[in-house]
Structures are given as C-alpha cells and as structure tokens.
Chain A
C-alpha cells in the first residue's frame, strides 16, 4: 500500500508465521438504524491486508448488517468507512464491487438460469473494459478480451474443483455446490477484499471441511483478504486470524480466537448469563 495515512497501522505476524499487511479497511464508529431499531451501535474495527477476519455473534447480533454496510447494500447513519487508506463516500453496491470488494450471500444469490461458467463469468464484469459500442464495432478485440477472461474463469473452476458442472444451470445444483459457485463468482472479480456471509450455513461436516479448505487456499494462494460471518464457532476459531464478536448490535470482543474465547462477555453472550 502506498497511500498510507494515519489510519494505517503496521502489519503483524500470525501464530503460523504468515506476514499480515497494514489496514485495508477500517470501520469507524458505525451506527445503523432501521427506524427505531438499532442494528449496529457505534462499532469500530479494522481489517488488515491478507488476513482472515471473522465477525461472529448470536442471531440478530447485526453481523449481516455489518457486511451489508461494507458492501454498500446498507448505508449507516453515522460513522465512516475507510478503504485502502481513503474515506469511502456513500456508495451503491455496484460501485463498491467496482472498488474490488466482492461478496457472497447468506441465502445464495446466483443467476439460477445460467450455467456455472456464465455465473462465474459475470464476476469478471468489473474487469471488462470494452464497452457496448466498441464491442459491437471491434468484434475481434472484444472476442480476444472475452478469451482472456474465460481463461481466468477456467482457472477458478479448476481451483474450486467444479469442472464437472461447468455447463450445468446452477439452479439444478445441490446447495453445497451452489455455495462453491458463488464463491467462484466472487473470486472471478479478483477482489482486494472478499466478504463471505455464512459460507458454511446449512452444510454438512464434509461440505464444511471442503469450504474451510477453499477459504484457506484462497487466502494462501491469492493472498486475498477475507472477512467472513459464520455461526459455527469451531470453524471460525480454526480458520480466522482475528475475530470481532457482536451482540445486540454492539461489539463485545475483538482479537485472536484465543483472546476472544477467554473474554468473559463473549462467553456470557454465547452461553447465556443469569440476570439477577
């Protein structure tokens, strides 16, 4: 990063010896309200380049809302979002995508009538330069560009081991595979930051293990920064470098998995506490 500002901090080294970079994204005092309901209350945290950052918390804690703030689907009433050392103005989701932030959804949002290949190809849209008119006029050039993107998409298909379903309309695929295609589409954008909303929700143990492996591989091989929301505590603690814990819209913990697990407030939120 060359646009270091006072917000950027230096990186750190993880327990398993990976070098993590400086801050790529910083949420500052975010407050999000829906009418009288406060979904997120004055939360700040940062995401470092190259790390796997998890946001956890019980149902209704505001995790998905936070992800939607990052990806531009929701706009907080208060607070600032900093990305790549710059304050991000209020943006629409498609503009956020163009910045290099890709995401998946809790309830898979794929193009069900389109094939796996086409779905992942749409992930390349932000990378395609040729406009509509030039595509019509310079057919050859556009075709060459298409070829290059296709190449990249095939690499992702190989990486995710979904060659067998390249031409299958995704609506016909089982749930676990759909989740994988959605991950593929997000990867196709070669994102700087990848947001995963409950990537393992509704999966069996085997599918969860596969997905964990893919997430770790993405982080490892492409160096992609990942922010994820997950319910499964075991998985989260296994794969993430640092964890934000939310409860009732507030941040109650932030740190490495070990630190968070030792935090009394976190234990209370998850196991319940007697109010006397």
Chain B
C-alpha cells in the first residue's frame, strides 16, 4: 500500500463497498461452513452421508427455543388426547441452561440413533445407510413438529444483531465523506468467532486426545480400529453427539438470523456445494469451501450478477461452481486424491 492511499479519498467508495461485500461474503461463508462441518464429521467417521444433518439443526434449535420458553413438549398431542389446555410450564430458562439441556438432548439423540438404526445396519452398503438417514430426516422433522409445534419461533439467546456500530465507526475513516464505514452484522461476527473456536477445538481434539486418535483411526479403517481395541459403537455415538452439537450451533446462528421454522432444515442444501469444494472428508476443507462459496456468490452478484445478469445469482452460483469442481477436481480441494491401484 502506498502511503498516500492511507485515509485519503483516492480509493473510491465503490471500492470499499466491494470490500464490504467481500467481508459479508466471508461471514456468510462461515455460516455455510458450520452446516458443512456436521456432514464432514459423520462422513469421515462412518462413511455415511447424513441427509438428516439439516433437520438435526432444526430440531436442535426447536429444542433450545422450547426449553428456553418453558414450552411443554408434545403439548398439542397431550391436549388432543386428554382434552387439556396445556402450553407452557410458565418459566423462562436462562440461555446457557437451555443450551446445556439442548446439548444433552442431542447426545441422547445420538445414542438412540446408534441403538435403533446404525447398530442394525453395520456393514451395509453406503446407499442403504444414506436411505436410513433420509428416513431419519423425515421422522425427526415430524417428531420436532409434534414435540414443539410447527409455528415460526423467535430464537434469542442474547447474541447482538444488526449492524455493528463499532466496526462501522472505526472503519469510516478509510473512505471519503460518502463512506460511512463497513456494515457488518454483529450476529455474523459472533458466528465467525464461534466457528473459528469450534473448528480449532475440533482439530485439537482429533489430533491430541486419545478419543480423537480413535476417531481418526475409525475413519481410516474399521477392522484395524477394532483390532486395537476401539469400540465402533462408542465412537459412532461420540461422532453423532459432536455432529449434533455442531448442528445446534448452526441451528442457533441460522435460527437467530431467520427464525426457527421448517426452512431452517434447508440450510443443508447450501452445505452441499461447500462439501463438493472442500471434499467430504476434510474439516479445513469444509471451512475453506464455505468461505469460497460465501465470498464467491456475494462477489459474483456484486461484480457481474447485479450489473449484467439481472441479479439473484446467489441462488444458483454455488451449485454451478460445485459442478465445475466436480468436473475438474472431483475429490474437492482437500479431499484425499483418489488413486486406484491396478
């Protein structure tokens, strides 16, 4: 950077607006990564593409809101059967306690999935396991509705929302009089920090702990893992619990942004192109893939989409990019290269 550029009017507001779009793209990318992460964890450890990951995020968010607002689970069902008129316990739990309870529910969910589904499908084809997760997704969707009701709920655990004033006022000096500083949503900033912390702890966990090493071992070779004394079933429960926790985090962030409702489960669709870029087996890949998609779609819209293509390119950009990747680098950016020995 040359000296004269600093704090001067040489850079146009248009340029800084571009930077802002870029930053917002990064933030959006983090949100995609959060969802993709859950897929990668389960795929790595068990070779299962978990179709239910999006619904898990919805279910986790529903549970969190339900606990927080003191909702009575299955209230409408109970009312319908017994003719009662129950709705709420009448208390309001602190956010932290509600999160803790939601985590416990997700762990319980992981145990049940292992007991009732996975256990019976050991050594089956991946497609069978995939089909099982489709069934799981629809079951959970209905179960979530039944348990907590299907109306749109507001998720508020005290994360600040709206434009971040601090960032705005501290970056205003960059441009000229017509530039008021970067507009970044506080929620996105929090989400980014949480995502970074989450990934860092996951990486530390898998590299430096006994359980982490066991997870990597199972991801690599089931039979060998058994022979060194690793219980596959325990590992699967742990993996699904972690994926459930990641789903909860994603559910909180997306739920706070756009409300907790059925469409929350569709965030899974946004994770697909991220996985194709990052590879299904790489945690850093999920992050970088998410960032590329987030920045890519925002910048494409800003530079090409809006001015030349009539806008709304964000809806399809990610999928087209993923398609290009599939053609030229099917293993993704970080996925293990597929070498077939002949």
Contact = CB atoms under 8 A, between A and B. Distances in A.
Interface of A: 71, 73, 92-95, 97-98, 102-103, 105, 109-114, 118, 121-123, 125-126, 128, 130, 132, 135-136, 142, 146, 185, 189
A94 B220 contact: no
B4 interface: no
A187 B139 CA distance: 46
Given A114-B216, A122-B217, A146 B224 contact: no
Contact of A189 (B213, B228, B238): B228
B210 A98 contact: no
Interface in B207-224: 208-211, 213-214, 216-217, 220-221, 223-224
Nearest to A188: B228
Nearest to B216: A114
A123 B220 CA distance: 14
Contact of B227 (A105, A128, A142): A105
B108 to A, nearest CB: 17
A146 B208 contact: yes
A136 B201 CA distance: 10
Residue with the greatest number of chain A CB neighbours at <10 A, chosen from B209, B223, B228, B231: B228
A189 B231 CA distance: 16
A122 B238 CA distance: 18
Which one of B210, B214, B224, B231 has the greatest number of beta carbons of chain A within 10 Å? Answer: B210
A189 B228 CA distance: 8
A142 B227 CA distance: 24
A125 to B, nearest CB: 5
A113 B220 contact: yes
Contact of B228 (A92, A122, A132): A122
A189 B229 CA distance: 9
Contact of B229 (A113, A126, A132): A126
A111 B231 contact: no
B230 interface: yes
Leading 8 A-B pairs by shortest Cβ distance: A97-B229, A109-B224, A111-B220, A126-B229, A93-B226, A132-B211, A94-B231, A128-B210
Interface string B228-271: 11111000001000000000000000000000000000000000
A146 B225 CA distance: 19
A93 B230 CA distance: 9
B217 A98 contact: no
Nearest to B223: A109
B14 interface: no
A121 B336 CA distance: 22
A94 B226 contact: yes
B210 A135 contact: yes
Contact of B217 (A95, A111, A189): A111
